[in-house]
Amino acid sequence: RKEVEQDPGPFNVPEGATVAFNCTYSNSASQSFFWYRQDCRKEPKLLMSVYSSGNEDGRFTAQLNRASQYISLLIRDSKLSDSATYLCVVNSGGYQKVTFGTGTKLQVIP
């Protein structure tokens, strides 16, 4: 089983739709979690951290479920500019042990 797993997609959704991605992790000792966004042919950029109590940043909501070992990202009112690959990142065993998921591709359609 991979350390961090994501559905590669693509998720094709119409503008204005709500879409959610999950990411599962295998190491129960994982300590911190992040969502990154990567546009085509660009470097990943931090979208948001994921806190135990869940957190929201505008149209984006991140949640952590430690019992089931997954994190989620919810995007409301999708915009064309949200089209990108969303990478789940898990820190295990300290800040140097970082594992990336393979990413979930989102395509928002007009």
Partner 1 sequence: GAVVSQHPSWVICKSGTSVKIECRSLDFQATTMFWYRQFPKQSLMLMATSNEGSKATYEQGVEKDKFLINHASLTLSTLTVTSAHPEDSSFYICSAHPGPEGGTQYFGPGTRLLVL
> Which tokens sit at 94?
């300290």
Nearer of residues 7 and 76 to partner 1, judged by Cβ:
7
CB of 65 to partner 1, least distance (A): 20
Q: Which residues have CB under 8 Å from 43's CB, separation 6+?
A: none
Contact 83, 25 (CB under 8 A): no
CB of 57 to partner 1, least distance (A): 13
CB of 52 to partner 1, least distance (A): 15
CB of 78 to partner 1, least distance (A): 23
How far the first Cα of the chain sits from its last, in Å, is 37
Nearer of residues 17 and 99 to partner 1, judged by Cβ:
99
Angle at 45 between CA 36 and CA 99, to 5 degrees: 45
Nearer of residues 58 and 94 to partner 1, judged by Cβ:
94
Nearer of residues 32 and 55 to partner 1, judged by Cβ:
32
Q: Which residues have CB under 8 Å from 52's CB, separation 6+?
A: 64, 66
Binding site for partner 1 (CB under 8 A): 32, 34, 41-46, 49, 87, 89, 91, 94-96, 98, 100-103
